[in-house]
């Protein structure tokens, strides 16, 4: 048996007719830049997240960067985030002109360790950018308490957590603003790159709408740095179709995760989800001391798996100039050697999960 890490084709085939109609409508209208589908998707996604406003952009990295710019983050400022995350979280801070300040993670939930935040705060700190990593929400109340104490903005990196809930509310509705990515492999994925900013701050959203479109307040009047970060109408049309199915697909992911947990809990360290959270399992990440050996064993047996992420942010070559050092974030470094992401997507079949789990057990018993 061959088991893919992600298989987007199964999902596409299940909604092919809806997608074809949506794309054809855009083609027939020739409205490819911004326009009706983008505006409708912004309203629909804002409503889905439980916020008032949204702005579609070209990808999740741009969404994070434009939020920071709209919040007035600039050169000399510092933004706190976590050491274990995708590189875009930190690069968005750099792109806005600020310095990323990293905090180690809690190895249980893989989130920014709230007990280590305050020691990183200086008079240059302007915001905290925590990550709803792997589809599992961070502890917002703990972050909010610190942010209010030091008058800091909260930017939710929700790029992996479309539809996830914290205490019954969807992520994206807690901070000053939130960023989402619609990369094809995400829970809500486009047919290319796409992203979204959501917020209850109307001015922030209006500013970002100008920023994404060459900084224009009106045509040929450029009030902000002229950036081109617009969401394509074709991607918006696809995402409008997919949004209607997202809750169903997330439920399928949770069912897959439940089966994994039942079959693997005695063999590897499975995800630990807080009772406050409803995870959407963008990734199903387990830990084992022989991670690299298990990856090779999977490869021999036709199973695709991943590592998210093998090199912590502070050990990435690009960030050498910031003076980060090995050993600075021990939890992140240790986890990076042990984590492995198992196949996870809504249409993953029961027999495929069982096959993966059988191979894990076979490996562990060797």
The DSSP result for 310-356, as a single string, is SS-GGGSGGGGGGT--TTSSHHHHHHHTTEEEEP--TT--HHHHHHH
CB-neighbour burial class of residue 105 (10 A; exposed 0-12, middle 13-18, buried 19+): buried
257 token code pair: 């995760």
- Work out the percent of the chain whose per-residue pLDDT is above 70: 100
279/133 Cα distance (integer angstroms): 10
pLDDT for the residue 287 = 97
The secondary structure of the chain in percent helix, strand, coil, rounded to multiples of 5, reads: 45, 20, 40
Contact 312, 264 (CB under 8 A): no
Segments of 183-334 assigned E as strands: 195-199, 216-218, 221-222, 277-278, 284-287
> 221 forms bridges with which residues in the sheet?
218
pLDDT for the residue 59 = 98
266 token code pair: 């005695």
CA distances from 285 to 243, 328, 336, 342 (A): 25, 23, 11, 6
Strand pairing class (216-218; 169-170): unpaired
pLDDT for the residue 107 = 87
> 339 forms bridges with which residues in the sheet?
287
The 10s digit of each residue's pLDDT in 331-344 is 999 999 999 999 99
101/263 Cα distance (integer angstroms): 39
Query: If DSSP codes are grouped into helix, strand and coil, which group holds residue 201?
Result: coil
Contact 178, 197 (CB under 8 A): yes
Q: 62: part of which helix (H) or strand (E)? A: helix 60-70
The 10s digit of each residue's pLDDT in 116-167 is 999 999 999 999 999 999 999 999 999 999 999 999 999 999 999 999 999 9
pLDDT for the residue 58 = 98
284/282 Cα distance (integer angstroms): 7
Local structure of residue 221 (DSSP, 8 states): E
The 10s digit of each residue's pLDDT in 271-323 is 999 999 999 999 999 999 999 999 999 999 999 999 999 999 999 999 999 99
Residues 283, 117, 90, 126, Cα dihedral to 10°: 130
Determine the angle formed by the axes of helices 350-364 and 291-300, rounding to 10 degrees.
Answer: 130
**198: Cβ contacts below 8 Å, ≥ 6 apart:** 45, 46, 49, 51, 53, 54, 172, 173, 177, 178, 180
Residues 140, 142, 144, 150, Cα dihedral to 10°: -150
59/130 Cα distance (integer angstroms): 18
Is the pLDDT at 14 greater than 90, yes or no? yes
pLDDT for the residue 366 = 81
In a 13 Å sphere around the CA of 320, the CA atoms on its Cβ side amount to 2
97/92 Cα distance (integer angstroms): 9
The 10s digit of each residue's pLDDT in 16-66 is 999 999 999 999 999 999 999 999 999 999 999 999 999 999 999 999 999
Is the pLDDT at 86 greater than 90, yes or no? yes
pLDDT for the residue 342 = 98
């Amino acid at each position: 048996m061959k088991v893919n890490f992600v298989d987007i084709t199964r999902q596409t085939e299940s909604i092919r007719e809806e997608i074809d109609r949506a794309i054809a409508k855009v083609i027939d209208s020739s409205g490819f830049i911004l326009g009706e589908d983008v505006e409708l998707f912004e309203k629909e996604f804002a409503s889905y997240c439980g916020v008032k406003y949204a702005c579609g952009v070209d990808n999740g990295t741009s969404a994070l960067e434009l939020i920071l710019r709209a919040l007035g983050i600039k050169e000399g400022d510092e933004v706190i985030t976590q050491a274990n995350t995708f590189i875009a979280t930190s690069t968005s801070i750099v792109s806005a002109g600020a310095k990323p300040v990293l905090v180690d993670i809690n190895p249980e939930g893989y989130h920014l360790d709230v007990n280590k935040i305050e020691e990183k705060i200086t008079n240059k700190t302007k915001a905290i950018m925590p990550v709803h990593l792997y589809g599992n929400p961070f502890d917002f109340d703990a972050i909010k308490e610190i942010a209010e104490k030091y008058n800091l903005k909260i930017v939710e990196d929700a790029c992996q957590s479309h539809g996830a809930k914290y205490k019954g509310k969807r992520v994206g509705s807690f901070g000053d603003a939130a960023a989402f990515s619609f990369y094809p492999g995400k829970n809500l994925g486009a047919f290319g790159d796409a992203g979204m900013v959501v917020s209850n701050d109307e001015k922030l959203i209006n500013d970002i709408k100008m920023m994404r479109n060459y900084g224009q307040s009106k045509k040929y009047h450029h009030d902000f740095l002229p950036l081109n970060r617009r969401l394509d109408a074709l991607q918006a049309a696809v995402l409008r179709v997919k949004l209607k199915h997202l809750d169903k697909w997330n439920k399928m992911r949770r069912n897959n995760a439940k089966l994994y947990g039942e079959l693997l809990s005695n063999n590897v360290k499975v995800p630990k989800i807080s009772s406050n959270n409803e995870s959407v399992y963008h990734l199903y990440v387990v830990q084992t001391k022989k991670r690299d050996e298990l990856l090779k064993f999977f490869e021999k047996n036709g199973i695709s798996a991943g590592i998210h992420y093998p090199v912590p942010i502070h050990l990435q070559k690009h960030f050498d100039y910031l003076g980060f050092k090995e050993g600075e974030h021990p939890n992140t470094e240790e986890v990076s050697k042990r984590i492995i992401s198992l196949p996870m997507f809504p249409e993953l079949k029961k027999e495929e999960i069982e096959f993966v789990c059988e191979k894990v057990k076979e490996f562990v018993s060797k």
